[in-house]
Amino acid sequence: MPKAVQYNKGSIIYFENDKDDRIFILQKGVVILTTTDTESGVSETQQLSNGEFFGVKSALGHFPREETATVLQDAIAISMSVPEFENIFSNNKQVVYKMLRVFSGQLRQVHKKTQALLQNNNSANQQDGMFSVAKSFFDDENYRACCDVCIKYLTHFPNAYDKDNVAKLYADAKLRHEKMGKKADQAAAAPASYSGALKQFMLPAFERFQKKYESDQVIISEFEPGDSFYLIQSGEVQLVKCVNGVKKNLDILKPGEFFGEMAILDNSPRSATCMAIGPVECLEFNKANFEVLVTGNPQIAIVLLKLFCKRIYDQKRRIKILMIKDNTARIADTFCMFDEMNPPIKPNEKSRRFNFSQADLASWSGLPAQVVQEEMHKFVSSGKVQAFDNYMIVTNINDMRRIVEFKSVPKR
C-alpha cells in the first residue's frame, strides 16, 4: 500500500542515476529536483508544488533516475510502487491525461534538441517539409515511399503553390517504380504472439480499426497534419526523419507499440515518417474515438505513459551520443546504447550481435557514411567487430565501453 514518508531538511530522497521503482507525490514541504543539462553540463533545478508527482518517468520506464530529489524544508511525500500507481490512477483520466500532455511536451523538446545537434533545418513549413521528405525517398530510389508521401501531400494540400512539382515528382517516381518491376507485397504480416497490453486489442470490437500496409508503404509522413495514432499488431515499423535532405533512422517499433500519438495530444504536425518494414497490421485510432478508447480501456493510457517514458529516455540517450566529438567513441557508444536497449540473456556474455547495417549505424551515430566506413574498417582490422551486410558482431562489448570512457569528450 502507498505510505506517507517524512523527510528531514537536507535529506536526499534519491540521487541521479539511482535505480528505484518508487513513484512519489509531494504532500507537504519543499523538494527540488536537480538535473544536469546534456548539452551545456549546467545544473538545472525545479521546485515541486504540493500534490505534484515526481520520479514517474524513471519508475515507469525502468531506467536510472534522471535527477536528484533534495529536501529543502521538512517534507512528507506519498511513496508507491508502479503496480500501486497503476491500480490507483489508471481510472483517473484527469491525472493520466495531464501526465500524457506533460510527457508529450518533454518528448517534443528532446526531439528539437536532437534536430539541432543533427543541424536539421526545421524552419520549413509543412508543405515544403513534406516535399523534402518525398524528394529524399526519391533520391534514395525508394520510389514506393516517395509516391506515398506525394499522395499525402496532394491530399492534404490540394491547392498548394508547389502542387505541380509534387505531381511531377509523383509521376516520375511511379514510372521508375514500375520500371524496376516492383510489385506490391501482398504477403501477410508474420503472426504475432499476443500478450500483455496487446492482448486487450484482439477482441472483435477492434477489428473495424484494423489497417494493413505493404512493405515500404508510408503510414504517416513527417510534417503532415496528424489526426490519428496507431498500435502495431504484427510486423515492424521504422521511424525516420528527413535531415537536410537525408533520412536518419530514429527507431524500429515492434508489435504492441504505439506511434503517431503525439499528434493526438498536442495538435502538431507529424514529427517523423513511419513506414512499414515488410507487411504490417495496425489498429488506427483517431481523435474522435481516442478519449472513448482510453476511458473504456484505462490500461491503454498507462501503456502510453510507459511508451512516452521509454521514448524520452531513448532520445536523451541518443543526444549523449551526438554530443561526443570523437568519431570512434561516438560509434562505440552507439553499440553501447543498443546493448543497453537489448541486454543479453546471460549478463556475463561479452559478444553481442546487432541487427543493423553500416548505413543504419551512420544514421544512429549522426555521422557521414564515409566516416563510419573508415571507422568500421579500423574496428574490423583490430578484431573488435565483425561486419556483415545486415548485422554486426561486437567481440567484446566492454571494449566499446572502454573506448567511450577514455576517448569521448562532451561538447561545450
Q: How confident is the model at residue 96 (pLDDT cuts 50, 70, 90)?
A: confident
pLDDT above 50: residue 188: no
Nearest-5° Cα angle at 115, 111 to 117 = 115
> Cell digits for 325?
566529438
d(CA 106, CA 119): 20
Q: What is the pLDDT of residue 264?
A: 72
Identify the residue with better confidence: 251 or 195. 251
Helical H segments across 259-382, by residue range:
261-266, 287-296, 298-322, 327-341, 358-365, 369-381
Q: How confident is the model at residue 47 (pLDDT cuts 50, 70, 90)?
A: very high
Tens digit of each residue's pLDDT (9 = 90 or more) over 205-246: 677 889 999 999 999 999 998 888 898 999 999 988 887 777
Q: How confident is the model at residue 77 (pLDDT cuts 50, 70, 90)?
A: very high
Residue appearing with cell numbers 557508444: 333
Mean pLDDT of the 109-138 span: 81
Q: Give 24's contacts (C-beta < 8 A, 6+ positions apart).
A: 13, 53, 54, 55, 69, 77, 78, 79, 80
Mean pLDDT of the 167-187 span: 79
d(CA 79, CA 22): 6
Q: Which is it for strands 258-259 and 228-243: parallel, antiparallel or unpaired?
A: antiparallel
Q: What is the pLDDT of residue 190?
A: 47
How many residues appear in the chain?
A: 412
Q: How confident is the prediction for the chain on average, in pLDDT?
A: 86
Q: What is the pLDDT of residue 187?
A: 46
Q: How confident is the model at residue 349 (pLDDT cuts 50, 70, 90)?
A: confident
Q: CA torsion, points 157, 111, 365, 149, in degrees to nearest 10?
A: -10
DSSP 8-state symbol, 206: G
User: One-letter amino acid identity for 283?
Assistant: L
Q: Which residues pair with 70 in a beta bridge?
A: 12, 32
Across 107-116, 164-173, 306-315, 361-370, least confident range: 107-116
Judging by beta carbons within 10 Å of its beta carbon (0-12, 13-18, 19+), is residue 305 exposed, middle or buried? buried
> Cell digits for 384?
573488435
Nearest to 307 by CA among 53, 110, 60: 60
Identify the residue with better confidence: 108 or 222. 222
Tens digit of each residue's pLDDT (9 = 90 or more) over 4-32: 999 999 999 999 999 889 999 999 999 99
Mean pLDDT of the 132-160 span: 94
Q: How confident is the model at residue 92 (pLDDT cuts 50, 70, 90)?
A: confident
Mean pLDDT of the 320-341 span: 92
pLDDT above 90: residue 170: yes
Q: Give 12's contacts (C-beta < 8 A, 6+ positions apart).
A: 68, 69, 70, 71
Nearest-5° Cα angle at 216, 210 to 221 = 75
User: One-letter amino acid identity for 377?
Assistant: H
Across 137-151, 191-205, 213-227, least confident range: 191-205
d(CA 204, CA 335): 42
Mean pLDDT of the 21-48 span: 90
Q: What is the pLDDT of residue 193?
A: 47
Q: What is the pLDDT of residue 341?
A: 81
Q: How confident is the model at residue 383 (pLDDT cuts 50, 70, 90)?
A: very high
Q: How confident is the model at residue 194 (pLDDT cuts 50, 70, 90)?
A: very low
CB 410 within 8 A of CB 335: no
Q: How many CB atoms lie within 10 A of CB 297?
A: 17
Query: CA 10, 11, 14, 16 torsion: positive or negative?
Result: positive
Q: How confident is the model at residue 183 (pLDDT cuts 50, 70, 90)?
A: low
pTM, entire model:
0.74
Q: Which is it for strands 273-286 and 392-394: parallel, antiparallel or unpaired?
A: unpaired
Across 81-85, 115-119, 168-172, least confident range: 115-119
Q: Give 103's contacts (C-beta < 8 A, 6+ positions apart).
A: 57, 305, 308, 309, 312
Tens digit of each residue's pLDDT (9 = 90 or more) over 246-268: 777 777 888 888 888 877 777 77
Q: What is the pLDDT of residue 205?
A: 65
pLDDT above 60: residue 409: no
Q: Map 188-232 to HEC letters.
A: CCCCCCCCHHHHHHHCHHHHHHEEEECCCCEEECCCCCCCEEEEE
Q: What is the pLDDT of residue 186?
A: 44
Q: What is the pLDDT of residue 180?
A: 83
Measured in degrees and rounded to the nearest 5, phi and psi for residue 322 equal -65, -20
Nearest to 408 by CA among 336, 339, 328: 328
Q: How confident is the model at residue 111 (pLDDT cuts 50, 70, 90)?
A: confident
CB 92 within 8 A of CB 123: no
3-class SS at 80?
Answer: strand
Mean pLDDT of the 314-342 span: 90
Query: CA 212, 213, 215, 219 torsion: positive or negative?
Result: negative
Angle between helices 298-322 and 287-296 (to 10 degrees): 110
Q: Which residues pair with 28 in a beta bridge?
A: 76
Query: CA 111, 198, 226, 356 torsion: positive or negative?
Result: positive
pLDDT above 60: residue 182: no
